[in-house]
Amino acid sequence: MDYQLLEVENGKPIKMWTQDVPVEDEAREQLINTARMPFIYRHLAVMPDVHLGKGSTIGSVIPTQGAIIPAAVGVDIGCGMMAACTTLLASDLPDNLHALRTAIERAVPHGRTVGRGRRDEGSWDTPPETVDAMWAGLLEGFTRITDRHPCLKNTNNRKHLGTLGTGNHFIEVCLDEADRVWFMLHSGSRGVGNAIGSHFIGLAQKDMQQHIAKLPNRDLAYFSEGSQHFDDYVEAVGWAQDFARRNRLLMMQNVIAATRGVIAQPFSASVEAVNCHHNYVQRETHFGAEVLITRKGAVSAQKGEFGIIPGSMGARSFIVRGLGNEESFCSCSHGAGRTMSRNEARRRFTVADQERATAHVECRKDADVIDEIPMAYKDIDTVMHAQRELVEVVHTLHQVVCVKG
């Protein structure tokens, strides 16, 4: 077997693709709690980037029948990756990449500012026409959702479309093994997805108020199929995933336009190269049965399907092709996976450490991004080796520019 099997008393087994990869005891316990839910189908599949998460373990694939756990999807609904290969070569890039980084930062709102009377720098002040045109395709579904759940109406939605966010979200300029230039970015459904996730997690806990004490964890509160809130959630989460996909597409268009303003060499870019979620739920057929597959920090890797597995800032990333391994529910990891919390990374490392670790990358090197330092993540090469039966590497990328909020 290319996975480790963990049998769970009074629950379904857990299959873990974690050879030579550290797994926290807390993450293992969280997985066991999920495996004991009565509606889990066959087994849980665990990817090598596994680590403790809020609500559900990051790096897990959760198949269910007749129920759905909103906190397993989480609040960063539809978070995922997009990559585009260009006709540019490394030799077409300027020697000093600072101007390219700042052009991308101007083109895509990023970060977050809060405070009374202050505009959030991570949102549009006045969204451009391209954003309004994209929002028009989302408005009907949003109206239908907010008619039933009015609290979701006054959220960051239209002004967050085409924006990056904070944390581990990023935009990168990368080079592949043939020195071709790629653009790669990571983001999701932003404020409106967070609001949808939080709202339905709360509804699930409220609906189960009489039974929640019997759950291993209150974040495992679920909706039963056939209930009104189940149907509402499926519709809302599907809409948020569509928002996330469009959000990445808009950002990619703006990154390409910004680059054209810096680099005189004409180029084209395959914008449709890869656009994949790694925090989402959808209906799929596995082992002859229709099931709901929740991928929490995991990517679909159906046979022949392309995906993206990024390393940390400063490490390599991979464009992969799925091998269709049914035991993993045709899934792979969504990245390297953290080895420590953000607070622990801030305690342990300094700006000087960050500067050394990202010396080859044009990026921010200040105290606010220490939590994203490469040493806070697992070794990407070990992670890739552990899932060699899940995906094959098509391209290996290393970043030369990284934008973070």
- Flag whether 177 is in a domain: yes
The closest alpha carbon to 297, from 267, 283, 277, 317, belongs to: 277
Is residue 338 predicted with pLDDT exceeding 80? yes
Q: Which amino acid is at 59?
A: G
- Flag whether 318 is in a domain: yes
Per-residue pLDDT tens for 304-322?
999 999 998 888 999 999 9
Per-residue pLDDT tens for 128-162?
999 999 999 999 999 999 999 999 999 999 999 99
Is residue 271 predicted with pLDDT exceeding 80? no
- Flag whether 296 is in a domain: no
CA distance 135 to 93: 33
The closest alpha carbon to 399, from 383, 380, 386, belongs to: 380
Q: What is the pTM of this model?
A: 0.96
Q: End-to-end alpha-carbon separation of the chain, Å?
A: 41
- Flag whether 310 is in a domain: yes
Confidence at residue 214, expressed as pLDDT on a 0 to 100 scale: 86
- Flag whether 92 is in a domain: yes
Confidence at residue 272, expressed as pLDDT on a 0 to 100 scale: 61
**pLDDT band (50, 70, 90) for residue 116:** low
Report the catalytic residues. 334
When pLDDT is averaged across residues 197-214 and rounded to a whole number, the result is 92
Number of H helices, E strands in the chain: 9, 17
When pLDDT is averaged across residues 185-195 and rounded to a whole number, the result is 97
Distance of CA 298 to the CA centre of its chain: 8
When pLDDT is averaged across residues 80-86 and rounded to a whole number, the result is 96
The Cα angle at residue 169 between residues 337 and 97, in degrees rounded to 5: 110
CA distance 328 to 16: 9
Question: What mean pLDDT is reported for the chain?
Answer: 95
Confidence at residue 313, expressed as pLDDT on a 0 to 100 scale: 87
Is residue 117 predicted with pLDDT exceeding 80? no
**pLDDT band (50, 70, 90) for residue 213:** confident
Q: What is the DSSP string of 38-61?
A: TTB-S-EEEEEEEE--SSS-EEEE
CA distance 152 to 10: 38
CA distances from 8 to 11, 14, 62, 212, 371 (A): 5, 7, 15, 21, 34
Number of domains in the chain: 1
CA distance 403 to 381: 23
Contact predicate 173/160, CB 8 Å: no
- Flag whether 55 is in a domain: no
Per DSSP, 360 falls in state T
147: left (phi over 0), alpha (psi -120 to 50) or beta: alpha
Confidence at residue 172, expressed as pLDDT on a 0 to 100 scale: 97
- Flag whether 264 is in a domain: yes
Tokens at residue 161, please? Answer: 């479309």
Sheet holding 279-286, edge to edge: 4-6, 14-16, 44-51, 58-64, 289-296, 279-286
Contact predicate 230/68, CB 8 Å: yes
Dihedral sign of CA atoms 186, 187, 188, 193 in order: positive
CA distances from 338 to 142, 187, 345 (A): 34, 17, 10
Dihedral sign of CA atoms 105, 106, 108, 109 in order: positive
**Which amino acids are annotated as binding site for GMP, given as ranges?**
168-172, 278-279, 310-313, 317, 334-337, 404
Confidence at residue 55, expressed as pLDDT on a 0 to 100 scale: 79
Contact predicate 334/298, CB 8 Å: yes
- Flag whether 183 is in a domain: yes
Share of the chain above pLDDT 70, in %: 99
Is residue 10 predicted with pLDDT exceeding 90? yes
When pLDDT is averaged across residues 201-228 and rounded to a whole number, the result is 92
Is residue 387 predicted with pLDDT exceeding 70? yes
Name the residue range of residue 85's domain: 80-276+305-323+377-404
Contact predicate 50/25, CB 8 Å: no
Tokens at residue 50, please? Answer: 């596994």
Specify the CATH number for the domain of residue 145: 3.90.1860.10
